[in-house]
Amino acid sequence: MRLSDVLTEYIMEILENEGDVQIRRNELADRFGCVPSQINYVLTSRFTPEQGYVVESRRGGGGYIRITRIRTDKNTALMHIINSIGDGLDNITAQVMIRNLNSSSIISEEASKIMLSAISDRSLYGVPSAERDRLRAQMCKNMLLSIM
């Protein structure tokens, strides 16, 4: 298992037990034998608003990083995601977003499979590559609106 997966699992376990996590980056890096930038990578790639998290950071001697899982009803969560998509959405980000919606039980397994198929690069093969991310963003927004 990769270190980023181990760190994610550790943080997720604390989140499930306590509801939020407050950590010191250097202490966590020492605990797992990695550099602090590895902690930053995990936080910026695995704990984003699109994935349902708020990450607060305070620097200095008493600094900390606080991770809180956003708990909202289905429609509020969907509107938050729709508003965060913007004008373009790359394939990888779209896949992560859809899988997270499914793992959070906001959308069904069947809906996630249909959405993943519809927004894939394979499905958008005939669309010029410069336009794919824009079209994918519009498709995701419309599909999520229809789920509401």
Task: Please give the torsion angle defined by the CA atoms of residues 70, 71, 72 and 77, in that order, rounded to the nearest 10 degrees.
Answer: 40
99-129: pLDDT as tens digits:
988 888 889 999 999 999 999 999 999 999 8
CATH number, domain containing residue 120? 1.10.1200
CATH number, domain containing residue 35? 3.30.56.130
Same domain for 87 and 65?
no
At a CB cut-off of 8 Å and minimum separation 6, what does 88 contact? 133, 134, 136, 137
Q: What's the domain count of the chain?
A: 2
pLDDT category at 132 given cuts 50, 70, 90 is: very high
Per the structure, the complete domain to which residue 94 belongs is given by 74-147
Same domain for 100 and 143?
yes
Its pTM stands at: 0.59
User: Phi-psi region for residue 60, left (φ > 0), alpha (ψ -120 to 50) or beta?
Assistant: left
Question: Which of 18, 35, 69 is the last residue in one of the domains?
Answer: 69
Question: Which of 20, 50, 69 is the last residue in one of the domains?
Answer: 69
Share of the chain above pLDDT 70, in %: 97
